[in-house]
Amino acid sequence: MNTTFEMPSQTATPLQYTPILSFMSDKQLALFVPFVVYWIYSGFYHLISIYEVSFFEKYRIHSLIEVETRNKVSMGEVVRAVLLQQFLQTLLGLLLVVVEDDDVLLDDEVELLGYRQTLEAMATIFGLWNLLEPYQNIIIETSYWYFIPLSRFLFAMIFLDTWQYFMHRLFHQNKFLYKHIHSLHHRLHAPYAFGALYNHPIEGFVMDSVGAGLAFKLSGMTTIGGMIFFGFATFKTVDDHCGYDLPFNPVQKIFGNNSAYHDIHHQSYGIKMNFSQPFFTIWDRILGTYLPEPPKSLKEYQSSQTTTIHSLTLKDREAIDHKDEPDVFKIQETISAGISPRYNLRPRKTLSSI
């Protein structure tokens, strides 16, 4: 049975609603799933980071000392800010749940009958019904159970990407919005997992709450579909800030917009690039803000040096962390000054190289 926010159609028969958990509705559960996903997944990365698990160390993007010295905010402050944002987002979601209609279950058999009638009508118009009639059951059931839910999910992903790209870019290009709101997130020059949602509450509301809410509503996903979407978007956001470039991580392999890609945006040379998040790189490619790896000149400089980030002074590491947004083309000045803004500039590994 499918759960939906919409009122049943005239042909639909409301059925008894049974939530996944007996003590809360599925709508309420959908609000808490991202919270659980966020702290469990980021907790995993935090543990392997602070204990410097040897297997993962070679995949670090930034050293632990970089995390401790280059970031302009303590981990305690980050945790408090993230919890505040999640509290406000959950509270807003609960208020919206109260004013919305109750969940309604639709009879799948009735819905499938409606799809069958639609298919027959459309195929008849184009003279294709005789050809499609023997396959109508497989066409209808495949569409209803797989193609339509997946297409709604994909639409939601593309919509959220579009929303976040243009909002994110606006928060960078408008000096007031950057200085007073978005610069908070860029206190993290060496991102880590549970800092993914370290944002100003206004930014969290505009980019995350409004964007994800509109993606859900406009896509027409069911409550269960929305629950999966919110959970996956949260999972992806945490992974993008995890601080590890893992060649065996399927999410990082499938999506070009991954931890290594987004980390570039947190560096001085890439702060005006790579605005896309959290799934694809479509808008970066179209609008000329695509920077898939550090500039070649920077990598050549890094490979010619024996000095690592561990031997750089704190003054050296802070030299690239300007208070205001630098021009992306000032990277040459950074290189000529003998400063390496990233700890790990190795080419991305592939499964064959492990």
pLDDT digits 0-9 by tens, 118-159: 998 998 998 888 898 888 899 999 998 899 999 999 999 999
Residues ≥6 apart with Cβ < 8 Å to 94: 28, 31
Which residues, in sequence order, are bridge partners of residue 60? 244
Q: Tell me which of 94-98, 99-103, 174-178 is least confident.
A: 99-103
Question: What average pLDDT does the chain have?
Answer: 81
The answer to whether residues 45 and 293 touch, using CB atoms and an 8 Å cutoff, is no
Range picked from 84-98, 161-175, 326-340 for highest mean pLDDT = 161-175
**Model confidence over 228-257: pLDDT tens digits?**
999 999 999 999 999 999 999 999 999 999
Report pLDDT for 93: 84
Question: Which has more pLDDT, 354 or 82?
Answer: 82
Structural element, H or E, at residue 3: strand 2-4
3-state helix, strand, coil in the chain (%, to 5): 65, 5, 35
User: Per the confidence metrics, is the pTM higher than 0.75?
Assistant: yes
Write phi, then psi, for 308 (nearest 5 degrees).
-110, 175
Q: What is the pLDDT of residue 104?
A: 54
For residue 160, which of 199, 217, 202, 200 has the smallest C-alpha distance? 217
Which stretches of 126-210 are DSSP H helices? 129-132, 136-142, 148-173, 175-180, 201-203
pLDDT band at 15 (very low <50, low <70, confident <90, very high): low
**Are the C-beta atoms of residues 34 and 234 closer than 8 Å to each other?**
yes
The confidence score (pLDDT) of residue 152 equals: 96
* Listed residue (324, 156, 126) closest to 228, CA to CA: 156
94 pLDDT band (50/70/90 cuts)?
Answer: confident
**pLDDT value at position 259?**
95
Q: Which of the residue ranges 7-21, 118-132, 309-323 has the most confident prediction, judged by mean pLDDT?
A: 118-132
CA 140 and chain centroid, separation? 32
Average pLDDT value for residue range 274-284: 95
Q: What is the DSSP letter of 208?
A: I
- How far apart, in whole angstroms, are the C-alpha atoms of residue 259 and residue 347? 13
